[in-house]
Structure formats: structure tokens, C-alpha cells
Amino acid sequence: MQLRFIESDTLLQIRPEVYSPDHDEVFDVLFYGMSTHNSFWVQSEELYNNFLALGEKARVGVAFLVDDQPYRLAGELINTRLEGKYHLTLIEQITPLELISKRSQYRDEMRLNVRVYGLAPEDLDSTLPLVAPKKPEFSCEVFDISAGGVCLVSDNVFNSPFEPYFLLEFTISGKERFLLPAKLVRKGHCPQTSLFKHDYGFDFIFDKFPEEKHRLGDAIFSAKLEKL
């Protein structure tokens, strides 16, 4: 799949790397056409109007569907122009176009240490700031993570009387610390990788503080861009 094969008016989602209260988290735009072999114009009055707030060379994630297949790439905002009634923004591609998973939240492979604490069901209604118990039930590694959930891997079997609710504590890029409630939804024998014997799937619970979902998504996105 190449950018030049995208049809005009294909819906794209543009997600800025850095969020500010001055613009929305995600911009729905329409593909307008190619400028060069690795840059393209999109049509959106909202994105056009937020170009200065986001800044020239601002990094963004771009996601879209072609024939029901999801693709993504990272890009930079380059310029804007008016063409008749169309408000156009130029985006330069900075990573290869990538076919991604069809799961509701794409998970990025990321190696993080995580501590798992027990969480009583009645504590699910707690509000921020959450406080971790003194001793974790389990310590292991993250295999992959998204703003929706996480897969943990270990050579040790994990069983706890607190199942299925836990607090997961981890830090992304050495600076963004998270302590999030989560529900254990799967136990497996590590089909994800041969390096570990067991894997555990958790869904994060953001009912009481949806802003943490946004912060987690931003931290994951920023960590990925740091590796480019």
C-alpha cells in the first residue's frame, strides 16, 4: 500500500503528539491529494484553523482505512493553503505506511516493568489520587500496551484472591507514572513471545477519570515517536 493509491475524500484521523486545551485530541480530515511522493494535502477547516496552535513541524499520527484494512503513519505538519472553499493542510510522511491490527486499540510493543496490586471491588469507585498498597501482588514486564489495555508477561504463574481487579503501576519513558485500575480478562501460555511462559491480559478501567486515558495515550504516542 502506498499513499498515492489513497482515493480523494478518504477519511483520515489526525492525532497530534502533544495535546493542549486549544485543540481537539483527534481531527477527522479528508484526503485531498499528493504534493510530493512523501507529502500530501488533507482537507479540514478545523485542522487548518489549528495549524498555528499546533505549530509548524508538529508531529502527528495519521490513521485511516482502505478496503477495511487499517493503516497508520507518523507525519509532520508543513503548511496550509486555501483553494477555493477547501481549507488544506500539508503533511509530510516521516515513517513508513504500516498495516496495523484490527483490534479496537492498537497496542505498541513496549518493555516496561509493572507492579500489580490487589484492588477490592468496592474501591473501584475511588477517585484520584489512587494510593498503592505497600506490597505488590505481582511484578513482571509489559509486552504490549494501548490506551485500552495491556499484556503482561512472566515466567511465574500469577494467581490472586483479588481477581479480577487490580491496580497496575508503571512508568513510561522514565517520566510519566501511572497507577491505574484494571480488570484481568485473560490468562494464557504466552502465545505473544517464546521468551516467557505466561501472559496476562488486562483492560484498564477509566470510568472515574477519563483524563488518565488521554494522558496514557499521549505518553505511548510520545514514547513511540522518541524511537523514530
**Residue bearing cell 484520584:** 128
Boundary (domain end) residue, out of 37, 67, 99:
99
The CA-based angle 22-23-27, given to 5 degrees, is: 175
- What is the rounded CA–CA span in Å between residue 130 and residue 127? 7
Same domain for 193 and 140? yes
- Asked if pLDDT for residue 171 goes beyond 60, the answer is yes
For residue 210, the surrounding DSSP H or E stretch is: helix 210-226
* Cβ contacts of 59 within 8 Å, gap of 6 or more: 16, 17, 74, 75, 76, 94, 225
Report percent pLDDT > 90 for the chain: 43
Q: What is the pLDDT of residue 222?
A: 78
- What is the rounded CA–CA span in Å between residue 60 and residue 14? 6
Q: What is the pLDDT of residue 193?
A: 66
User: Facing residues of 89 across strands?
Assistant: 42, 80
Q: What is the pLDDT of residue 203?
A: 93
- Asked if pLDDT for residue 202 goes beyond 90, the answer is yes
**Tens-place pLDDT, residues 74-107:** 899 999 999 999 999 999 998 888 876 544 444 4
**Residue bearing cell 472515574:** 208
Evaluate whether 199 touches 191 at the Cβ level (below 8 Å).
yes
Separation of first and last alpha carbons in the chain: 21
Evaluate whether 113 touches 59 at the Cβ level (below 8 Å).
no
Whether omega before 16 lies within 30 degrees of 0, making that bond cis, reads no
Same domain for 112 and 95? no
**Tens-place pLDDT, residues 44-84:** 999 999 999 888 899 988 888 877 677 888 899 999 999 99
Same domain for 73 and 133? no
Q: What is the pLDDT of residue 188?
A: 82
Boundary (domain end) residue, out of 99, 125, 143:
99
Boundary (domain end) residue, out of 47, 74, 99:
99
Which has the minimum average pLDDT: 96-100, 171-175, 203-207, 217-221?
Answer: 96-100
Same domain for 176 and 115? yes
Which has the minimum average pLDDT: 122-131, 151-160, 170-179, 219-228?
Answer: 219-228
Report percent pLDDT > 70 for the chain: 87
Same domain for 35 and 113? no
Contacts 24+ apart (CB under 8 A), 45-54: 45/87, 47/14, 47/87, 47/89, 48/80, 48/87, 48/88, 48/89, 49/87, 50/22, 50/23, 50/24, 51/77, 51/80, 51/89, 53/20, 53/22, 53/23, 54/16, 54/23
Which CATH number do you get for residue 134?
Answer: 2.40.10.220
Q: What is the pLDDT of residue 150?
A: 92
Which amino acid is residue 101, in one-letter code? S
Instruction: Quote the domain boundaries for residue 166.
Output: 108-226
Q: Give the chain's domain count.
A: 2
Q: What is the pLDDT of residue 119?
A: 93
Same domain for 69 and 176? no
Q: What is the pLDDT of residue 226?
A: 65
Same domain for 78 and 148? no
Same domain for 209 and 119? yes
- What is the rounded CA–CA span in Å between residue 17 and residue 28? 15
State the pLDDT confidence band at 225, using cuts at 50, 70 and 90.
low
**Tens-place pLDDT, residues 103-151:** 444 445 678 899 999 999 888 887 777 888 889 999 999 988 888 899 9
Same domain for 17 and 82? yes
Same domain for 207 and 118? yes
The full length of the chain comes to: 228
User: Taking residues 35-39, what's their average pLDDT?
Assistant: 92
User: Facing residues of 151 across strands?
Assistant: 144, 201
Same domain for 113 and 219? yes
Which CATH number do you get for residue 61?
Answer: 2.30.110.10
Same domain for 214 and 156? yes
